[in-house]
């Protein structure tokens, strides 16, 4: 088992706009999502909750490459890749989970039991997508087993 992390912070969300924060992209073999999370740095506690979705994607959109970080420095380099800083949205697939999280310091972290992990097929994509009603910044992470 080799674990790899993908993360982003300081992503400014436009009001009432759906935005993909981060996506993990499987290489030649499947990967499994072990843990993921998102948080917001808003200060107005009366703002509407942010819709947070875990979603399968079928394209990269227009985004920047991100090299996944080895959680154990002695592991091999990852076969998987990642994408962040989306300026054009990826093509959507199945929405696997939906959550509402307060933008006023809200934090959502989910970890799966071994037999409940979300699998990503070879060359498949899995992302975190959000929609906020107010301008707020976000941070997100995904931990994959390859």
pLDDT at 1 over 90: no
116-121 CB contacts, 8 Å cutoff, 24+ apart: 117/32, 117/33, 117/34, 117/145, 118/32, 118/33, 118/54, 119/30, 119/31, 119/32, 119/33, 120/24, 120/26, 120/30, 120/31, 120/32, 120/33, 120/56, 120/144, 121/26, 121/30
The pTM of the full predicted model, rounded to 2 decimals, is: 0.95
Measured in whole angstroms, the distance separating CA 145 from the mean position of its chain's CA atoms is 15
The pLDDT tens digits for 46-62 are 999 999 999 999 999 99
Tokens standing for 101?
A: 């999280």
Contact 1, 139 (CB under 8 A): no
Q: Does domain 3-145 have CATH number 2.60.120.380?
A: yes
Mean per-residue pLDDT, 19-45? 97
Residue 132 has a pLDDT of 96
- Report how far residue 142's alpha carbon sits from residue 33's, in angstroms, rounded to the nearest whole number: 7
Residue extents of the structural domains in the chain: 3-145
């Amino acid at each position: 088992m080799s674990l790899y992390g993908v993360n982003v912070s300081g992503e400014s969300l436009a009001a009432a706009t759906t935005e993909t924060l981060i996506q993990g992209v499987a290489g030649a073999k499947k990967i499994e999502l072990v843990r993921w999370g998102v948080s917001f740095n808003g200060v107005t506690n009366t703002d509407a909750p942010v819709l947070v979705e875990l979603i399968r994607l079928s394209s990269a959109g227009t985004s920047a490459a991100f090299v996944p970080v080895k959680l154990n420095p002695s592991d091999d380099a990852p076969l998987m890749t990642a994408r962040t800083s989306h300026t054009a949205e990826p093509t959507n697939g199945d929405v696997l989970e939906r959550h509402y999280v307060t933008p006023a310091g809200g934090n959502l972290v989910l970890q799966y039991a071994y037999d409940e992990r979300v699998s990503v097929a070879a060359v498949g994509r899995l992302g975190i997508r959000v929609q906020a009603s107010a301008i707020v910044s976000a941070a997100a992470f995904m931990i994959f087993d390859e």
